[in-house]
Structure 1
Amino acid sequence: MSVILCTAGYDHTIRFWEALSGICSRTIQHPDSQVNRLCISPDKRYLAAAGHHTVKLYDIKSTNPNPLLTFEGHTGNITGVAFHCEGKWMVTSSEDGTVKIWETRSGTIQRSYNHGSPVNDVVIHPNQGEIISCDRGGSVRVWDLAENNCSHQLIPEEDVSVSSVTVASDGSLLCAANNAGNVFVWALIQTFERTQLLPVTHFSAHKEYITRILLSPDVKKLATCSADHTAKIWEVADVDPTVPTPLPVSSINTLPSSPNNNGNNPNPFINGNGIIHHGSSDSNFNAIANTNLPDAPKPYPLEATLQGHQRWVWDCAFSADSAYLVTACSDHYARLWELHSQQVIRQYNGHHRGAVCVALNDYSEAR
């Protein structure tokens, strides 16, 4: 199968589609719960379906409707799932407040990191040495797998749930979106000792809840999906990350202290990762907060607003060439958009309830 496209949602089914014809070629029943997220392994062999408490791993090429393996260990809805580049391990996030790393052959938990708040999303840095997750408490955390700890904690807006994160395929950018409809962008600077995060820009993208944010494979586009019934495409503009931008003070990095494995620290103002919160008594706080900053950073230019969805747009996936986007919507449909014309060129009809997740792999060969 050169193109693998699948969708799932609240009707307890996973559907495989012929991308060009729009025909549903296979349906897998998922009776235990709705499906929250889907992920195709880089070698196109497996599909991971994240549900209420479990992740089920299916053989894409087999006609067997039963999962090869079931990953058990979370106690809440699983909200994110991603594969290691060679499929050796898998990472998940959950409303139970944890991020877990699994050995994919045995289904055993290798590590578990605690957010202390329901976790909404997780992605793997392309260096395969860091994972990035976000939570309902309003934080974005970077977990260093070599050091086995939380190396950074960012708080874009105090007490606003961060709904989704995405990292550039070349490791250059980290983007996060929150429930207030805002987007935040950081440059990821690789140094000899550690990754540094420098604010690039932030802007209001939607007036309502952003459900998903995703950078295109060529890192030239940024997609956002929203409860406002639209998906939007933004141009990833070149911004000098060394020029400071007036992000909220609570997202500014200082020199890190030593966190424990969960990234926790009893100090209520400065956490173990050196991120200053509002109200900090730290002597450097006022100096950092009052640095002469330029005018508000320019948002990424809006390229397109994809209209035609009838309800919440929950998820999206770019094609390998970044020219197309598939969206999944509560109106039961998934849609294939040609981004140049901003037109729907295929609609996938078959779900009887909301389609909330989509996975697409159309790379010419396994990565």
Structure 2
Amino acid sequence: MTATAPFMITADEVNCLIHSYFQDSGFVHSAFVLRAEGHLEGSQHYGKHIPRGELIELLSKALLYSEAEAHWKGNAMTNNCKASFSILDKHVCSLDPNIPATVTFHPPVIEVTEPTANSTSEKRKASTPPAPEDIPKEKRARTEEMEVDSVASAEPYPLQESAPATMTLAVPAHDGSGRVREVERRFKWYKGIRVLSDVGLLRGHNSEVFVCAWNPVRKELLGTGSKDTVINIWQLHDKDPSEEDITPTSDSPLTFAYLNNSDQGDLTSLDWNPDGTLLAAGSYDTYLRVCDASGKLYFAESMQKGPVFATRFSPTGQYLLTASIDGSVCVWDIPKKALYKQYHIHENCCLDVEWLTDDIFVSCGVDLLIHVMKLGVDNPLETLSGHIDEVNQLKCNPRRTLLASCSDDGTARVWDIEAIKLGKPFNKKVLMLEGHSSTVSSIAWCPWDQHSIDDVLATSSLDGTARLWNTTTGECLRVFQHHKAAVYTLAFSPDGRLFATAGADGYLYVYDVKSKELKWSWHSTTESPAVFEIDWQQFGNVNRIAMALESGLVGVVDITQIPEVYL
């Protein structure tokens, strides 16, 4: 018989939980008194991050347990009971005369599992296409085919249409003055959990949303793509701060759906051209699709024999790269709407591409190699090797002097590419960043600070952590361990002050780059909570994050309405 670990609930833990509830609710004085009388600052639990609404959520779960305890017999009285449950009042079953006593009642089963590296939500793209059997499992679909009554086919949870409540927070200013401001926050209630009104949820997709991308020129446009090959272009409205509800909203999106006979239409990438007039999308059905900002088809073509994993416009927008599972890279001439050249340079499965200049690009793949190619030249200018497992992603730093790569081998590597761009002999010395215990899934460079000589790189992993690195010294500046499952995506704010991570557990975390501290978090309240991709936009007073959600919703976080982060 397996021994069961005992429940350990201490008064110290309860005090910290109540202290967090007081802070969330704006009871600043009560929080101060509890902290002082309970000596919480000396507690080992005091510095732990407690999600907003945690006390309410735990009490809600307690009510569910109370319901199961009261109704376990399954007789006519309990089957037909319509009496509500309360934390303070004893439950007494009450019959509903409108329901016959013969109705069979199936109580809801709530199962909480820790996602693992092989869980269905781990696989970011939808079901695997009928491609060659040597397709690496980690590069296949992010979700499995589900039964008819599965979560994927369910409608996302609607928020209760209740009037927004308010609370007041004491928030320190970011100017280093030590001043504290009192800021009013608006929120709604959903299933006993407070939902902040600075997060808008847009409905328009009928399946999982995998990718999202802000228009680089028109700040109001957001492109999103989902499992069913549908691209939505949202036009968001900026609301007057004096209005009661300041949640970002949008008209019905412009929908671009270019369907074919294939049932594998999962979108894998979205990329706007530099002037924001065209949006390119890669898909599992082997097609490249390009539409304009109004959702009208510009052109669509299939020259590759497998899913298209990545699309990248060149710096001038004249060319577009596509990377495919067949190992090839296609270069498309956008003004001519035609293929410029197809390069068969990887043995199998090219996973990502990146431009170094307007005529030099790099590609990576399952063959562990990174090739540096030049338009008009058949063979690689250089081949970078060193990774011992599949290379997942490539990113150039803002100055275009360094190239970062990440791999299933648990490392990221930084290559000096300046000599290649100048046509000089290349020094293949590489900086290796080690520390993750599983696949490094995503990398991002911090926007360059002219006052700093060091470039900062962020990495995220299926091990549930994210890290910041100094790419001059190779030092790991901080390990962030707030996620409870795989981290899929990360992004820096364009001003370089903040960065965010999101993943399979449905959490979005926002950190301060300089202090390396957690500033804010949000959690999806749907049964399919994963956040597959995020994109950060800053235009003048506009500062927001878009989220592609497994629930079929598109999230928009208005950073300007989060005083913990913005002030």
- With normalisation by structure 1, the TM-score equals 0.69
| Distance across 1 between alignment mates of 2:499 and 2:237 | 12
Q: CA deviation at 1:195?
A: 6.0
Report the 3-state secondary structure (helix = DSSP H, G, I; strand = E; otherwise coil) of the residue aligned with 1:47.
strand
| Distance across 1 between alignment mates of 2:527 and 2:229 | 9
Counterpart position of 2:291: 58
Cα shift readout 1:142-183 (whole Å, capped 9, x = no counterpart): 11225343011122134x111111112222111111102111
Counterpart position of 2:82: none
2:417 maps to 1:188: yes
Cα shift readout 1:200-256 (whole Å, capped 9, x = no counterpart): 4212241111112222331732121221233332233x35xxxxxxxxxxxxxxxxx
Q: CA deviation at 1:188?
A: 1.8
Report the 3-state secondary structure (helix = DSSP H, G, I; strand = E; otherwise coil) of the residue aligned with 1:169.
coil
Q: Partner letter of residue 214 of structure 1?
A: A
2:265 maps to 1:33: yes
Counterpart position of 2:351: 120
Q: 1:195-344, aligned counterparts within 5 Å?
A: 196-218=426-448, 220-236=455-471, 238-239=472-473, 299-305=474-480, 307-308=482-483, 310-327=484-501, 329-331=503-505, 338-340=512-514, 341-344=517-520
Range moving further from structure 2, 91-100 or 334-343: 334-343
Report the 3-state secondary structure (helix = DSSP H, G, I; strand = E; otherwise coil) of the residue aligned with 2:426.
strand
Report the 3-state secondary structure (helix = DSSP H, G, I; strand = E; otherwise coil) of the residue aligned with 1:198.
coil
Report the 3-state secondary structure (helix = DSSP H, G, I; strand = E; otherwise coil) of the residue aligned with 1:190.
helix
Counterpart position of 2:365: 135
Number of corresponding residues? 298
The answer to whether the 8 A contact 2:310-2:352 is kept is yes
Q: CA deviation at 1:132?
A: 0.7
| Distance across 2 between alignment mates of 1:10 and 1:105 | 29
| Distance across 1 between alignment mates of 2:291 and 2:498 | 26
The answer to whether the 8 A contact 1:11-1:351 is kept is no
Counterpart position of 2:66: none
| Distance across 2 between alignment mates of 1:357 and 1:107 | 29
Q: CA deviation at 1:301?
A: 2.3
| Distance across 2 between alignment mates of 1:352 and 1:99 | 34
Q: CA deviation at 1:33?
A: 1.6
Report the 3-state secondary structure (helix = DSSP H, G, I; strand = E; otherwise coil) of the residue aligned with 1:196.
coil
The answer to whether the 8 A contact 2:306-2:325 is kept is yes
Counterpart position of 1:95: 325
Cα gap change, 1:75 to 1:95, in 2 (>3 Å): same
| Distance across 2 between alignment mates of 1:17 and 1:43 | 17
Cα gap change, 1:38 to 1:181, in 2 (>3 Å): same
Report the 3-state secondary structure (helix = DSSP H, G, I; strand = E; otherwise coil) of the residue aligned with 1:44.
coil
| Distance across 2 between alignment mates of 1:302 and 1:165 | 21
Counterpart position of 1:170: 399
Range moving further from structure 2, 174-183 or 324-333: 324-333
| Distance across 2 between alignment mates of 1:304 and 1:4 | 34
Cα gap change, 1:300 to 1:24, in 2 (>3 Å): farther
Q: Which consecutive residues of structure 1, in runs of 5 or more, have no partner in the other structure?
A: 240-298
Q: More strand per residue: 1 or 2? A: 1
The answer to whether the 8 A contact 1:313-1:329 is kept is yes
The answer to whether the 8 A contact 1:36-1:357 is kept is no
Range moving further from structure 2, 312-321 or 99-108: 312-321
Kindly, what percent of the aligned residue pairs are identical? Answer: 20
The answer to whether the 8 A contact 2:508-2:521 is kept is no
The answer to whether the 8 A contact 1:324-1:336 is kept is yes
Q: CA deviation at 1:136?
A: 0.5
For the aligned residue pairs, the C-alpha RMSD in angstroms reads: 3.4
2:385 maps to 1:155: yes
Counterpart position of 1:81: 311
Counterpart position of 2:219: 2
Cα shift readout 1:236-280 (whole Å, capped 9, x = no counterpart): 3x35xxxxxxxxxxxxxxxxxxxxxxxxxxxxxxxxxxxxxxxxx
The answer to whether the 8 A contact 1:77-1:94 is kept is yes
The answer to whether the 8 A contact 1:166-1:174 is kept is yes
Cα shift readout 1:81-125 (whole Å, capped 9, x = no counterpart): 111112111111111111111112343211111112211111000
The answer to whether the 8 A contact 1:82-1:92 is kept is yes
Cα gap change, 1:75 to 1:108, in 2 (>3 Å): same
Counterpart position of 2:46: none
